[in-house]
C-alpha cells in the first residue's frame, strides 16, 4: 500500500527546512553584527566624548595655573612652574594612552595644544624667574670668597673672556682640570652656579637652596641635598651625584646621574642619560638631609618624565645603570 510519501519528497522537505534554518541563522547573525557595530560605534563615541571632557578640564586647569603665575610669591614660583610642567606631562600621557580611538586630526590638535602650553609656561618662567647672569667688569673688586664666584680664565675656544667676580652668587665659572670644594658654611641656603667648566671635579658638601649647572663637559659633580631645585643644561660626558626636591635636565647627553629626588624629575632634549640611586657620603650628610627635611628612605630616582617622549613605553633617552656598573666607592675622585 502506497501512502504517497516517497524518500525523495522527504529529502526535499528536509533540504528546504535546512535552507530556511540556515537563512534564519544568517539573519540573526547579521542582526547581531549590526547591533554589535552600533554598540561599538556608540562606545567609541562615548570614549571620544569622555576624552574630550577630561582633556578640556585638564587644559583649563593648566591654563588657570599659568594665568595666576604672576600673583604667586617669588619664593614659591619654582614649585609652581614644576607643578604646571608635571600637569602637562600627565596630560601628554593621557593623550598617548587614548591614541587607539582618537582620530589623527584630533591627536595632532591635542599635541599642538600641549606644545603651546609648554612654550607659554617656559616663556613665563623665564620672565618671572630670569636666570642670574654672570657679569664682567674691567676692574676686579675684592669680595668675600663665600659670596663670590671663584674665577679663572682658560685657553679654550668656548671660554675666551676674562672672568670677574659675580655678585650674590656662589660657585665656580670657567674652570678647567681642577678639583674644587665648597663646604656648608659657603653653601647653606645659597643659589649656587657651576658654569662653563671642563674636566673638573666639584664637591658641594652642604645644602644649597638651588643649584644651576650649565655648559659642563667631562665633569664630576657631587652635591649634598639641594633644598629646592637643580637646573642642569648643556651637560656632556658628565657624572652628576645630586640630591634635590626637583630636577630639571635640558639639552644634555651621555651623562650618568646618581640621583635622589623627592618629586618626579623632568628632562627635555636629552639623550644617552643613565640613572642610579644617590650614594655619595660625606661627614655631615645625614644632618644636611635632616635639615632640609628629606627622607632618605623615599627616593623617586626612577620617576622621570621625558618631554620628548609621549609614548606609554619607556623613553629611549634614559635608562637605569645596571647594578654591576654602578660606582659604589667614590674615593678615587677625592
| Residue ending a domain, choose from 98, 128, 158 | 128
Classify residue 296: in a domain, yes or no. Answer: yes
| Residue ending a domain, choose from 101, 128, 155 | 128
Classify residue 139: in a domain, yes or no. Answer: no
pLDDT band at 221 (very low <50, low <70, confident <90, very high): very high
> What is residue 168's predicted lDDT score, i.e. its pLDDT?
38
pLDDT band at 152 (very low <50, low <70, confident <90, very high): very low
Please tell me the least confidently modeled range out of 138-152, 273-287, 300-314: 138-152
> What is residue 42's predicted lDDT score, i.e. its pLDDT?
45
148: nearest Cα among 166, 174, 160:
166
pLDDT band at 205 (very low <50, low <70, confident <90, very high): very high
pLDDT band at 151 (very low <50, low <70, confident <90, very high): very low
| Residue ending a domain, choose from 100, 128, 156 | 128
Q: Are residues 51 and 177 in the same domain?
A: no
pLDDT band at 302 (very low <50, low <70, confident <90, very high): very high
Classify residue 140: in a domain, yes or no. Answer: no
Give the CATH number for residue 265.
2.160.20.70
Q: Are residues 123 and 155 in the same domain?
A: no
Q: Are residues 194 and 89 in the same domain?
A: no
Domain extent for 234: 145-333
Q: Are residues 254 and 179 in the same domain?
A: yes
Q: Residue by residue, what is the 3-state secondary structure of the chain?
A: CCCCCCHHHHHHHHHHHHHHHHHHHHHHHHHHHHHHHHHHHHHHHHHHHHHHHHHHHHHHHHHHHHHCHHHCCHHHHHHHHHHHHHHHHHHHHHHHHCCCCCCHHHHHHHHHHHHHHHHHHHHHHHHHCCCCCCCCCCCCCCCCHHHCEEECCCCECCECCCCCCCCCCEEEEEEECCEEEEEHHHHCCCEEEEEEEECCEEEEECCCCEEEEEEEECCEEEEEEEEEEEEEEEEECCEEEEEEEEEEEECCEEEEEEEEECCCEEEECCEEEEEEECCCCCCCHHHHHHHHCCCCCCCCCCCEEECCCCCCCCCCCEEECCHHHCCCCCHHHC
Q: Are residues 164 and 289 in the same domain?
A: yes
Q: Are residues 78 and 184 in the same domain?
A: no
Classify residue 222: in a domain, yes or no. Answer: yes
> What is residue 164's predicted lDDT score, i.e. its pLDDT?
35
Number of structural domains in the chain? 2
> What is residue 242's predicted lDDT score, i.e. its pLDDT?
98
> What is residue 324's predicted lDDT score, i.e. its pLDDT?
95
Give the CATH number for residue 116.
1.20.58.1250
Classify residue 2: in a domain, yes or no. Answer: no
Average pLDDT taken over every residue of the chain = 80
> What is residue 6's predicted lDDT score, i.e. its pLDDT?
63
pLDDT band at 109 (very low <50, low <70, confident <90, very high): confident
pLDDT band at 332 (very low <50, low <70, confident <90, very high): confident
Give residue-wise pLDDT tens across range 163-204.
333 333 689 999 999 999 999 999 988 899 999 999 999 999
Amino acid at each position: 500500500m502506497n501512502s504517497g510519501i516517497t524518500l525523495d519528497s522527504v529529502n526535499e522537505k528536509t533540504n528546504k527546512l535546512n535552507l530556511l534554518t540556515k537563512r534564519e541563522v544568517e539573519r540573526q547573525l547579521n542582526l547581531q553584527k549590526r547591533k554589535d557595530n552600533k554598540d561599538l560605534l556608540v562606545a567609541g563615541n562615548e570614549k571620544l566624548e569622555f576624552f574630550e571632557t577630561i582633556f578640556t578640564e585638564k587644559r583649563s586647569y593648566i591654563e588657570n595655573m599659568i594665568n595666576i603665575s604672576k600673583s604667586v610669591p617669588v619664593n614659591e614660583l619654582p614649585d609652581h612652574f614644576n607643578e604646571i610642567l608635571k600637569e602637562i606631562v600627565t596630560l601628554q600621557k593621557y593623550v598617548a594612552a587614548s591614541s587607539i580611538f582618537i582620530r589623527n586630526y584630533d591627536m595632532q590638535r591635542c599635541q599642538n595644544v600641549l606644545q603651546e602650553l609648554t612654550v607659554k609656561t617656559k616663556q613665563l618662567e623665564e620672565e618671572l624667574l630670569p636666570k642670574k647672569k654672570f657679569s664682567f667688569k674691567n676692574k676686579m673688586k675684592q669680595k668675600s670668597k663665600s659670596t663670590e664666584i671663584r674665577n679663572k680664565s682658560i685657553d679654550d675656544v668656548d671660554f675666551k673672556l676674562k672672568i670677574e667676580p659675580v655678585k650674590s652668587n656662589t660657585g665656580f665659572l670657567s674652570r678647567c682640570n681642577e678639583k674644587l670644594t665648597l663646604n656648608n658654611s659657603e653653601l647653606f641656603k645659597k643659589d649656587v652656579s657651576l658654569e662653563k667648566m671642563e674636566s673638573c671635579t666639584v664637591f658641594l658638601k652642604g645644602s644649597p637652596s638651588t643649584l644651576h649647572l650649565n655648559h659642563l663637559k667631562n665633569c664630576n659633580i657631587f652635591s649634598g641635598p639641594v633644598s629646592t631645585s637643580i637646573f642642569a643644561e648643556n651637560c656632556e660626558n658628565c657624572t652628576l651625584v645630586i640630591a634635590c626636591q626637583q630636577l630639571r635636565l635640558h639639552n644634555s647627553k651621555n651623562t650618568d646621574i646618581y640621583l635622589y629626588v623627592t618629586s618626579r624629575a623632568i628632562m627635555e632634549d636629552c639623550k644617552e642619560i643613565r640613572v642610579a640611586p644617590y650614594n655619595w657620603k660625606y661627614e655631615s650628610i645625614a644632618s644636611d638631609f635632616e635639615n632640609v627635611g628629606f627622607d632618605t628612605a623615599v627616593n623617586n630616582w626612577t620617576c622621570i618624565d621625558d618631554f620628548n617622549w609621549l609614548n606609554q613605553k619607556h623613553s629611549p633617552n634614559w635608562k637605569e645603570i645596571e647594578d654591576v656598573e654602578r660606582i659604589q666607592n667614590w674615593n678615587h675622585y677625592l
